[in-house]
Structure 1
Amino acid sequence: MSDPNPMSGAAPSARRAVLAAGAAVLAGGTLAACGGGGAEAPAREPGGAPSPEGSGAASGQAGGKTLVKSSSEVPVGGGVILKDQKLVVTQPTAGSFRCFSAVCTHQGCLVNKVANGTIDCPCHGSTFQVSDGAVVKGPATRPLPEHQIAVAPDGVISLA
């Protein structure tokens, strides 16, 4: 009668080799999926503005992705929403840029407007400050997560 476990006759070291190879493949795929971009890294300092097209092309700065080709694309006191990257770049005061997640912390809707000093969510009416992502009006209770950005001397804004 044949053994139902085809590996039962194999040497223990052969089984270990097969298991180790499988684990390495899985670990490599997991690390690759988690790496790159740094888009989720929290930021503490003013950043840059995202590009409407969201090309993702390297800007020549620390491996960041270009968000906005020119800081002039981001209005003072307002911002630009980058739907594809799920980011919003704001310029609370002239020359000061910040970048936040465009995903509302209430139930995950994308914000759709930056006006009158707030970032607005259309789903349930939450609003957030353009200066620091803090909740102005709920139902959201947590601020928008901030992302580090860099503004190059030529005005190109990219993820740091």
Structure 2
Amino acid sequence: MKMRTLFPVVPAALAISLALTNANLADAQVVQINSNLQPDPLIVNGTSGGKLQSNCGNIADKANQVLKVTESLPYLRLTVESSGQPTLLIDGPGGRFCVLADSYSGGKPEISGYWQAGNYSLYVGDLSKGQYTYTLSISQQKTPKK
């Protein structure tokens, strides 16, 4: 995956505050993604933050969303929009990654590039320790629609 602002999350630190098991995914909204994403962008909403402190801000003890990528995709972009200071923790086949907002992405956590097939647990966190409504945009377009 091509990643702009990525910080690998220290697994030992996460293991202390998070036990990422199938039981933690039971309440997550599951979104299936394939090469024919409709609509594009696909928009998902939820509440960011949580009580668990991690290297990727405060997150919930359960994933907000699970992406089931059914086939390897040459390009997929995830963008989070929210008040506060949103983060995106991704736990998937390639490991765990923390995506933070930067000035290049307009202050929104964004990740794009190649995605291999598999399940990705998404935790929308917040550095400000608050909980805010967020919008997650999932797109296969290289340029966002205006």
TM-score (normalised: structure 2): 0.27
Structure having the larger proportion of residues in strand: 2
Rg larger in 1 or in 2? 1
Higher RCO structure (Cα 8 Å, ≥6 apart): 2
Structure having the larger proportion of residues in helix: 1
TM-score (normalised: structure 1): 0.25
